[in-house]
């Protein structure tokens, strides 16, 4: 499954440059080391190596974050292995490095932690602030720097660091697409691939917006999906939602594996087909379908922003959103964590812990 951040890299040049600034590990302090997981080459999880590298120090407009939790997403695993369709493989290799990773050498797309120090021009945060953030990549390290106007915010007061770290990636993706679907109270919403990091937040957001939610995933995830608010669940190993005769106002396809024509037929008039991880073929067919019919296909990716991060905090503190954690691994077991996510069986999120 291609993460939203991957598409952003090849679709928005200006945003790429911003991401490069945000990922940068600032100038270093000689002699002070930290642990980090360094990505040495493309391949299986064992290409990730625990190393000691120099600890960064913030520039004038930056904060230094002590990372206390991160996650392993499907996007991290796809970038690590470089398993993409040919057209995207070429783009990714040109961006990251043809033979081995150069531009990005530390993975990890989201984190939660505590601000250890701030640059002299920083006014939005102070030492000791508990934050959660979306640094694009770079969170598999004990410390990292982000500009104060990066995508970081005070974490929800009623969440642990581990819980807060799982919010940004799944949250940004699901919120972006479900807003595009313009869900109205009582409308029928189907979420395909609802049991992962994006889907578990998507189910709750769709309910928050007033939708009647049908969640599709494997047998072992159905009870969890009911517990977070799904009105109906479908076991995709037993039933194809595109062939059961049901129709929906919004279909949010996270995994991108459902039949395009079947999904369109399962939409009501003026319905929305939201594809979080579209193939090139679905992108082209989606444009055409949107032009010739009342049904709209949305494939445009989201941009991370502070406003949405603060929106998630408000929802969480009001009790309207919670996260689902499948497994936790210490940083030293990053290979095991990536191996598990590679199986495609995770429920919700896999968290990397750093110790408090």
pLDDT, tens digit (0-9, with 9 covering 90-100), for 92-133:
899 888 899 999 999 999 999 999 999 999 999 999 999 999
d(CA 230, CA 212) in angstroms, rounded, equals 8
Mean pLDDT over each residue of the chain, to the nearest integer: 90
Q: Where are the domains of the chain?
A: 4-167+323-353, 169-298
Tell me 230's DSSP state.
-
Q: How many percent of the chain have pLDDT more than 90?
A: 81
Tokens of 25: 């590990």
Lowest mean pLDDT among 16-20, 67-71, 176-180, 236-240: 16-20
Lowest mean pLDDT among 51-55, 87-91, 192-196, 254-258: 87-91
Q: What is the pLDDT of residue 332?
A: 96
d(CA 36, CA 139) in angstroms, rounded, equals 9
How many CB atoms within 10 Å of residue 266? 22
Across 182-204, average pLDDT: 97
Q: What is the pLDDT of residue 303?
A: 82
What is the CB-side half-sphere exposure of residue 91 using CA atoms within 13 A? 14
Residues in contact with 18: Cβ distance below 8 Å, sequence separation at least 6, in sequence order: none
Question: Is there a contact between 246 and 213 (Cβ–Cβ < 8 Å)?
Answer: no
Query: pTM for this one?
Result: 0.89
Considering only CA atoms, which of 45, 75, 50 is closest in space to residue 339?
45
Which residue did the predictor score with more confidence, 59 or 25? 59
| Residue 83: pLDDT band with limits 50, 70, 90 | confident
For domain 169-298, the CATH architecture is: 3-Layer(aba) Sandwich (3.40)
Which residue did the predictor score with more confidence, 3 or 49? 49
Q: What is the pLDDT of residues 268-305, one digit of tens each?
A: 999 999 999 888 899 999 999 999 999 999 998 878 89
Considering only CA atoms, which of 165, 157, 33, 59 is closest in space to residue 117?
59
Q: What is the pLDDT of residue 5?
A: 46
Evaluate if residue 11 carries a pLDDT over 60.
Answer: no
Evaluate if residue 8 carries a pLDDT over 70.
Answer: no
Across 148-170, average pLDDT: 97
| Residue 23: pLDDT band with limits 50, 70, 90 | very low
Angle at 230 between CA 312 and CA 290, to 5 degrees: 75
Evaluate if residue 14 carries a pLDDT over 70.
Answer: no
Q: What is the pLDDT of residue 31?
A: 61
Evaluate if residue 4 carries a pLDDT over 70.
Answer: no
Evaluate if residue 155 carries a pLDDT over 60.
Answer: yes
Tokens of 159: 């969440």
Which residue did the predictor score with more confidence, 258 or 208? 208
Considering only CA atoms, which of 100, 95, 135 is closest in space to residue 10?
95
Considering only CA atoms, which of 53, 341, 49 is closest in space to residue 169?
341
The CATH number corresponding to 4-167+323-353 among 3.40.50.1100, 1.20.120.530, 3.90.180.10, 3.40.50.720 equals 3.90.180.10
Tokens of 79: 């970038």
Q: What is the pLDDT of residue 3?
A: 41
Q: What is the pLDDT of residue 87?
A: 77
Q: What is the pLDDT of residues 297-339, one digit of tens each?
A: 999 887 889 999 999 999 999 999 999 999 999 999 999 999 9
Evaluate if residue 17 carries a pLDDT over 80.
Answer: no
Q: What is the pLDDT of residue 356?
A: 60
d(CA 201, CA 68) in angstroms, rounded, equals 22
Cα dist. 199→174, 213, 242 in Å?
A: 7, 11, 18
Residues in contact with 274: Cβ distance below 8 Å, sequence separation at least 6, in sequence order: 177, 178, 180, 181, 250, 251, 252, 253, 298
């Amino acid at each position: 499954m291609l993460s939203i951040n991957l598409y952003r890299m090849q679709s928005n040049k200006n945003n790429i440059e911003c991401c490069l600034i945000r990922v940068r590990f600032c100038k270093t302090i000689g002699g002070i080391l930290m642990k980090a997981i360094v990505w040495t080459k493309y391949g299986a999880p064992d290409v990730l190596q625990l190393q000691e590298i120099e600890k960064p120090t913030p520039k004038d407009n930056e904060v230094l974050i002590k990372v206390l939790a991160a996650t392993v997403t499907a996007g991290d695993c796809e970038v690590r292995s470089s398993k993409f369709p040919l057209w995207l493989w070429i783009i990714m290799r040109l961006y990251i490095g043809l033979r081995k990773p150069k531009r990005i050498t530390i993975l990890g797309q989201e984190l939660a932690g505590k601000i250890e120090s701030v640059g002299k021009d920083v006014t939005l945060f102070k030492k000791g602030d508990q934050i959660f953030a979306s640094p694009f990549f770079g969170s598999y390290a004990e410390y990292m720097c982000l500009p104060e106007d990066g995508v970081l915010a005070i974490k929800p007061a009623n969440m642990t660091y581990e819980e807060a770290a799982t919010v940004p990636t799944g949250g940004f993706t699901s919120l972006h697409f479900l807003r595009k679907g313009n869900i109205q109270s009582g409308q029928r919403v189907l979420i395909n691939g609802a049991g992962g990091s994006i889907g578990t937040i998507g189910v709750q957001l769709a309910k928050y917006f007033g939708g009647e939610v049908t969640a599709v995933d494997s047998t072992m995830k159905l009870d969890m999906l009911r517990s977070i608010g799904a009105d109906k669940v479908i076991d995709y190993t037993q039933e194809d939602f595109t062939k059961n005769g049901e129709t929906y106002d919004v279909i949010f396809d996270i995994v991108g594996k459902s039949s395009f024509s079947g999904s369109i037929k399962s939409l009501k008039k003026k319905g929305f087909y939201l594809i979080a991880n579209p193939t090139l073929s679905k992108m082209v067919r989606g444009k055409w379908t949107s032009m010739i019919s009342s049904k709209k296909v949305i494939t445009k990716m989201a941009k991370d922003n502070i406003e949405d991060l603060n929106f998630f905090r408000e929802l969480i503190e009001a009790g309207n959103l919670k996260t689902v954690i499948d497994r936790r691994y210490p940083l030293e077991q990053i290979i095991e964590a990536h191996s598990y996510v590679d199986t495609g069986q995770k429920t919700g999120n896999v968290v990397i812990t750093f110790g408090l």
